[in-house]
Structure 1
């Protein structure tokens, strides 16, 4: 029986971490906001970063170790006041090295009971130094209003950055 309690340290060939929007909000962002998700359990998949640092670095430098096109990197961004949600709205990166532009309105994410549990917004990175801009980001935030007197609640946004076209295996199951 003890053999089933072993921690997996390597994933088999072909394994892909492809959480849905609902899974990202319910199992990761909500738990992170409520301090129920230890950093060590997600260290290979999620990076923790302050919003000021996040918006001071180009995506090329932010995700240096990310795999080839189609790869994704996840970030818990702390203190991010810029969420987007307004088409054409943008956030400058660094000293004008580029900017993240919002591609549309916020999209509501619903749980299985039909309740709105979070919002997603899609952004694209543009840079003056490169004519080929293939970075996109989906940012997620919770919609719940929290009691600000609760010291166990922190302000986090979850960002999923993708280089190239994002793989979508939803039709394969």
Structure 2
């Protein structure tokens, strides 16, 4: 984290949108431009388990933010981050152009295949090809494909209970429907 964070005003809150994370933070980091205030630290995430981020990453509520180098290995000391396969484009609100991609990961304790899925979620933001190529025309040296910005949080476990109850309701309702079916003799 840069030295500029010591001069933050009282009441400073960090609740960026996806667009703000990509355009105002990640793009500037990748273009080697200064970001004021410099509040998001560089962190090699992968040696750390998610509960070890406190004090290392920028914390706001139950969310942690940091820059990391893009890597294929997402293994930590006690587990690994597994991609969910879900990706969302990050669009600008003004021109509706794609500037980034948000990928989702879930932390698993232990080693595959016996690892236990946890409630820890990581959203990894990377620049899209469009935003990187449109800025590459500048003479500055850039790191567009090397950096990502991550948002890590622990999902509330209460959400899962409601989903399971809903699934059970569907099963019981379908069993009720079975009673109404008459089979030919």
Aligned counterparts, 1:152-171, within 5 A: 152-154=141-143, 155-165=146-156
Which structure's CA Rg is the greater one?
2
- Superposed CA deviations along residues 22-65 of structure 1, whole A, max 9, x for unmatched, are 11111111111111124x7323xx1202xxx4212211223346
Residue 163 of structure 1: how far off its partner (Å): 2.7
Q: What secondary structure, in the 3-state scheme, does the structure 1 residue paired with 2:28 have? A: helix
Aligned residues, how many? 141
Q: Cα offset for 1:17? A: 1.4
Is contact 1:109-1:117 (8 Å) kept?
yes
Partner of 1:114: 96
Q: Any residues of structure 2 matched to 1:1-173 within 5 Å, and which?
A: 9-12=8-11, 16-38=13-35, 41-43=37-39, 46-49=40-43, 53-64=44-55, 70-78=61-69, 80-82=70-72, 91-94=74-77, 97-111=78-92, 112-128=94-110, 133-144=118-129, 145-146=132-133, 147=136, 152-154=141-143, 155-165=146-156
Secondary structure, in 3 states, of the residue corresponding to 2:10? coil
Q: Distance in 2 between matches of 1:136 and 1:128?
A: 16
- Deviation, structure 1 residue 103: 1.9
CA distance in 2, matches of 1:91, 1:137: 11
Q: SS where residue 32 of structure 1 aligns?
A: helix
Does the 8 Å CA contact 2:123/2:150 hold for their aligned counterparts? Answer: yes
Structure 2: tracts of 5 or more residues without a match: 1-5, 157-185
